[in-house]
């Protein structure tokens, strides 16, 4: 009732006109004016029902159109990259470094703008703040092992292969581990299928639940659709690929992977030895006291919760609003292991719509102007017969 009253008042205010004297009108003018006013009052009193979800909408793109779109995506996939930091050295001034980074970032933005001009390509919203990308650059340069945190419910949506490629451009020894968070929401059979997929594509991965690890630290019982006894029963059949790692297991695995990378870096290969002899300087990285594990990922995938669970306390802010972490920070776990947390980043990608990113929790919901499209995305992922049984 309150909303209808507001709509009625808004309709009446909208009709306010400049005050003018009317002394002579024809009968037809009077009838038309009365009909117009009656129609507006009726619309205010009887608003049109707001159809949230159209279950009969054609949500599938025609095969031929989708095929052409995929061809265009494959043709331009090389242009869909994260911005690279331009070459730099310690002799550069702050002003020179800043100018070079801004110029490189501008060229990157121009390249993506050209992609957006192609009507056959759908480019999602992405991070446009240079300072946020600078945080990523520093985390990539510092880290021995890069951990990309993704949501288990749609891991490929949150994975950015070009970041993995960029890490190896910086240092061929760097590796990227896909940390599949919220794995407690997946049944054992689904984890098996994802494990088979990741293994077949040569992706290093681990299943993990920041919520479950935090509950163990706090001595709380999980209130999940997958009960603890079911998880424990499945764990007897799970192998190293499908098991959900605990806090101590994950820390040990991260340290082992990072130490392996650091050890490989300390042993120069034949190419590095030849370059070192010709230049008179060593190309090996300086030996650090700690191995460094960098954490990156989209906003709202549970990266900050993961960091807090691994550290054993609240070291990074956690909210329901995406993008809480603003600057990268280093956290010492032990004498041998350091974590480096990067702010959440929205990477550029094809195909996905803005509404899919809202439904996936990447874009803040409070900035959403159209709600029906986002609700439609959620409805499209649930079969109609399943939805009707709820």
pLDDT for res 307: 94
pLDDT at 66: 67
Band of residue 118 on the pLDDT scale cut at 50, 70, 90: confident
Provide mean pLDDT across the span 219-237.
55
pLDDT (0 to 100) of residue 42? 60
What would the pLDDT profile of 334-360 be if each residue is shown by its tens digit? Answer: 889 999 999 999 998 876 567 877 888
CA distance linking residue 318 with residue 297, whole number of Å? 14
Task: Please tell me which residue, 140 or 267, carries the higher pLDDT value.
Answer: 140
Mean pLDDT, the chain, rounded, equals: 78
Q: What is the pLDDT of residue 75?
A: 78
97 or 114: whose pLDDT is higher? 97
pLDDT range class, residue 280, cuts 50, 70, 90:
very low
Q: Is the pLDDT of residue 201 over 60?
A: yes
Residue 348: alpha-carbon gap to chain centroid: 10
Q: Is the model more confident about 368 or about 218?
A: 218
Tell whether the model's pLDDT for residue 225 goes beyond 70.
Answer: no
pLDDT band (50, 70, 90) for residue 208: very high
Q: pLDDT band for position 379 (50/70/90)?
A: confident
Where does the pLDDT of residue 270 fall: very low under 50, low under 70, confident under 90, or very high at 90 and above?
low
Is the confidence at residue 325, as pLDDT, over 80?
no
Kindly state the percentage of the chain with pLDDT values over 90.
Answer: 43
Mean pLDDT within 188-206: 96
Give the residue among 252, 264, 267 at the shortest CA–CA distance from 337: 252
Residue 51 has pLDDT above 50, yes or no: no
- How much of the chain, in percent, has pLDDT values that exceed 70? 69
In this prediction, residue 19 carries a pLDDT of: 47
Whether the predicted pLDDT of 2 surpasses 60: no
For the ranges 48-52, 157-161, 325-329, the lowest mean pLDDT is seen at 48-52
Confidence of residue 24 (pLDDT cuts 50, 70, 90): low
Q: How many CB atoms lie within 10 A of CB 198?
A: 19
Residue of higher predicted confidence among 210 and 60: 210
Please give, one letter per residue, the 3-state secondary structure of the chain: CHHHHHHHHHHHHHCCCCCCCCCCCCHHHHHHHHHHHHHHHHHHHCCCCCCCCCCCCCCCCCHHHHHHHHHHHHHHHHHCCCCCCCCCCCCCCHHHHHHHHHHHHHHHHHHHHHHHCCCCCCECCCCCCHHHHHHHHHHHHHCCEEEEEEECCCHHHHCCHHHHHHHHHHCCCCEEEEEEECHHHCCHHHHHHHHHHHHHCCCCEEEECHHHHHHHHHCCCCCCCCCHHHHHHHHCCCCCCCCEECHHHHHHHHHHHHHHHHHHHHCCCHHHHHHHHHHCCCCCCCCCCCEEEEEEECCCCCHHHHHHHHHCCCCCCCCCCCCCCCCCEEEECCCCEEEEECCCCCCCCECCCHHHHHHCCCCCHHHCCCCHHHHHHHHHCCCHHHHHHC
Instruction: Note the CATH number of domain 130-267+285-349.
Output: 3.40.50.300
Which pLDDT value is given to residue 308? 93
Measured distance CA(54)–CA(8) in Å, rounded = 27
């Amino acid at each position: 009732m309150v909303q209808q009253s507001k709509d009625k008042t808004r309709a009446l205010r909208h009709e306010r006109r400049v005050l003018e004297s009317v002394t002579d009108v024809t009968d037809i003018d009077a009838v038309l004016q009365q009909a117009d006013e009656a129609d507006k009052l009726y619309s205010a009193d009887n608003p049109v029902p707001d159809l949230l979800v159209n279950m009969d909408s054609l949500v599938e793109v025609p095969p031929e159109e989708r095929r052409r779109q995929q061809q265009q995506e494959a043709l331009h996939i090389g242009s869909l990259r994260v911005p690279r930091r331009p070459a730099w050295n310690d002799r550069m001034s702050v002003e020179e470094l800043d100018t070079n980074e801004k110029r490189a970032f501008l060229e990157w933005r121009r390249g993506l703008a050209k992609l957006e001009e192609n009507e056959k390509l759908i480019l999602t919203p992405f991070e446009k703040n240079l300072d946020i990308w600078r945080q990523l650059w520093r985390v990539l340069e510092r880290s021995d092992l890069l951990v990309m945190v993704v949501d288990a419910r749609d891991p490929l949506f949150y994975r950015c292969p070009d970041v993995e490629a960029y890490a190896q451009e910086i240092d061929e020894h760097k590796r990227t581990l896909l940390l599949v968070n919220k794995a407690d929401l997946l049944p054992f059979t689904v984890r098996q299928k994802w494990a088979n997929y990741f293994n077949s594509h040569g992706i290093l991965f681990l299943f993990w639940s920041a919520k479950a690890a935090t509950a163990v630290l706090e001595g709380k019982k999980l209130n999940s659709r997958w009960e603890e006894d079911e998880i424990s029963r499945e764990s007897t059949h799970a192998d190293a690929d499908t098991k959900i790692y605990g806090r101590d297991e994950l820390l040990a695995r991260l340290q082992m992977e990072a130490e392996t990378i650091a050890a490989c870096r300390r042993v120069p290969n034949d190419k590095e030895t030849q370059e070192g002899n010709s230049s008179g300087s060593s190309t090996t990285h300086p030996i650090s006291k700690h191995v460094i594990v960098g954490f990156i990922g989209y906003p709202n995938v549970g990266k900050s919760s993961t960091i807090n669970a691994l550290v054993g306390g609240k070291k990074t802010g956690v909210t329901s609003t995406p993008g809480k972490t603003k600057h990268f920070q280093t956290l010492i776990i032990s004498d041998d292991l350091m974590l480096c947390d990067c702010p959440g980043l929205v990477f550029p990608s094809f195909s996905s719509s803005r509404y899919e990113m809202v439904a996936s929790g990447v874009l803040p919901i409070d900035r959403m102007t159209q709600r029906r499209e986002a609700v439609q995305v959620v409805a499209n992922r649930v079969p109609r017969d399943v939805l009707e049984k709820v």
